[in-house]
Amino acid sequence: MILHIAIKEIYRNLTTLRFTLMVILLPVLFIVNALIYSFGSGGYTTQMNNYNRRGTENRGHIIKHADQSLAELALVGPGEMPKRPSRLTFCAGGVDEVVSRSIKMKSEGTISRSGGGKDEDYKWRPPLKLEYKVESAGSTPTRRVKINWVFIGVLMSFFAILFTFDAIAEERARGTLSLMMSNTISRGQVLLGKYLGAFVTLMVPLIISILMNLLIIHVFGDIPFGTSEWLRILGMVGLFALLISTFIFLGLFFSSRVSNAITSLVWLLLTWVFLAFVFPSLLGTFVGNLNPIPSVDEISMRRRAQLDQIDDEWKGGANKIKKAPSIEYPSRTRTWAEYFTAIGDTEKQIADEHIDQQLRQVQFARDLTQISPIATFQYAMEGLANTSIAGYMDFVKQARRYRQTFIDFVKAEDQGDPESLHIYPVREGLSQKPVDPDAVPVFEERISYRSVLSQVGLLVLFNLLFFIMAQVSFLMSEIK
């Protein structure tokens, strides 16, 4: 009987204008998405070419300075730590659209100290620091709206309510519901049959459109999909199913609660707009006002004040860094090392703290907005595509661990030179001999998808919650 109701529901859906609209719109959107990321300037091929170019330049940078000396390499740093482009960016752009795809580990230029009195002329490089760059995503509609799988998922949640708003209310109004219930069939079977009918009606065109999308990208986009990508794509199809299922149950809930289909549609549209747009925007604004992030100017002023304080303490106080460091004077060189360490610790603390504040605020806002199944779907898609905020935060942590790995490497190599003073991070205190470029540690990004599990769990809970709501509502509703 459940199968009979489902088939009847599918047949009814196939003869509606909304189904015609969906089967036209879905392939068009997926084809446009495939063409944009296959031939567009921001596609995977372009990103990968830039990634490889950065890798080649970075390798040349390391070879050049390693051939000069360990001290030179230690002061200029290993260069960029690029984030590998995701092959599934066409599914979910995520934070890759608003943050730089690389973190630089570098020393900014040289600082000169002019001699005067007992002071000596000296040029030095500031200590290494990580440079995090946040790019503006722009405010034009073409930059805000991305025709990717996340956008199509939001559209599919809208179609889910279009196919269910009248599933029960209209049959009640026409009297066919009471006729159906006069047979030996339970209300739970009726609800499940209507659910399956709507689910199949939505998922079959979606899967066909996805296959068209993947075929175009695979053939024309020159994007090699491995086992990992295919498994993640399969996971994304599962996320589509969970999102569609959630809104089918929501549609059945409202359809069973109200007396006519128009009222059901109005309530569903209001709920959908609130969950998709209003609620995430309001919470984002609330979190931003609750804990505002210091501006770039404020951070710059704070940094300058702390560095000036260090300069006053070390240049004008009893520390006496008035004479340049020298191999012949280890104590003087060690004093400069303490000065550089103080500067480096301050720079590191301010830069790391600022980016951490920004990322934590974004993560907190996203955690709150996961009360919306649409937002949860988006974050899960970004997690599988490796474009999520959680993935970028993990990338930042890996970059910081690499910073320490590089410093440890420099110190370990320096210990092998008996002529060195073994004083880091002063040029005169480190080995002046070349170092093997192949021995320099290479940054390798490791990707984790653990954050997706919580979002999948939430989508399952949304399904259970709305299923219970729909079931209880239908049991308590009047048949006539």
**Domain definitions of the chain by residue range:** 2-36+145-288+459-476, 38-143+291-372+416-455
The yes-or-no verdict on residue 135 having pLDDT over 60 is: no
pTM for this entry: 0.87
- pLDDT attached to residue 142: 35
- pLDDT attached to residue 325: 87
- pLDDT attached to residue 95: 75
- Is there a contact between 429 and 333 (Cβ–Cβ < 8 Å)? yes
**Given the DSSP bridges, would you call strands 111-113 and 122-124 parallel, antiparallel or unpaired?**
antiparallel
- pLDDT attached to residue 180: 74
- pLDDT attached to residue 81: 86
Q: Is 299 exposed, middle or buried (0-12, 13-18, 19+ CB in 10 A)?
A: middle
Which range has the top average pLDDT, 91-105, 119-133, 398-412?
Answer: 398-412
Using DSSP, state whether 125 is helix, strand or coil. coil
Distances from the Cα of 4 to the Cαs of 8, 180, 204, 330, 348, in angstroms? 6, 12, 18, 89, 66
- Is there a contact between 474 and 186 (Cβ–Cβ < 8 Å)? no
- Is there a contact between 156 and 204 (Cβ–Cβ < 8 Å)? no
Identify the residue with better confidence: 414 or 171. 414
Q: What is the mean pLDDT of the chain?
A: 86
* Residues 6 or more apart in contact with residue 222 via CB below 8 angstroms: 38, 44, 45
Q: Write out the two tokens for 333.
A: 């060189």
Q: Write out the two tokens for 398.
A: 């890996």
- Is there a contact between 227 and 265 (Cβ–Cβ < 8 Å)? no
pLDDT confidence bin for 120, thresholds 50/70/90: confident
- Across 139-153, 191-205, 404-418, least confident range: 139-153
To the nearest whole percent, how much of the chain has pLDDT over 90?
A: 42
| Residues recorded for the chain | 480
Biggest CA-to-CA distance, the chain: 106
> Can you say whether residue 130 is alpha, beta or left, with left for phi > 0 and alpha for psi between -120 and 50 degrees?
beta
- pLDDT attached to residue 294: 81
- pLDDT attached to residue 118: 66
The yes-or-no verdict on residue 35 having pLDDT over 60 is: yes
The yes-or-no verdict on residue 108 having pLDDT over 60 is: yes
Identify the residue with better confidence: 120 or 188. 188
- pLDDT attached to residue 101: 67
pLDDT digits (tens, 9 = 90+) for 294-343: 887 888 899 889 988 888 887 766 566 778 888 888 988 998 898 889 88
Q: Rounded to 5 degrees, what are φ and ψ at 430?
A: -115, 170
Report the alpha-carbon distance of residue 189 to residue 173 in Å, rounded: 20
pLDDT confidence bin for 231, thresholds 50/70/90: very high
The yes-or-no verdict on residue 426 having pLDDT over 70 is: yes
pLDDT digits (tens, 9 = 90+) for 257-273: 888 889 999 999 999 99
pLDDT confidence bin for 398, thresholds 50/70/90: very high
- pLDDT attached to residue 107: 78
* Residues 6 or more apart in contact with residue 456 via CB below 8 angstroms: 238, 239, 242, 380
Using DSSP, state whether 234 is helix, strand or coil. helix
- pLDDT attached to residue 249: 96
The yes-or-no verdict on residue 285 having pLDDT over 90 is: no
Query: What is the rounded average pLDDT of the residues 54-59?
Result: 88
- pLDDT attached to residue 31: 94
Identify the residue with better confidence: 201 or 114. 201
Identify the residue with better confidence: 283 or 100. 283
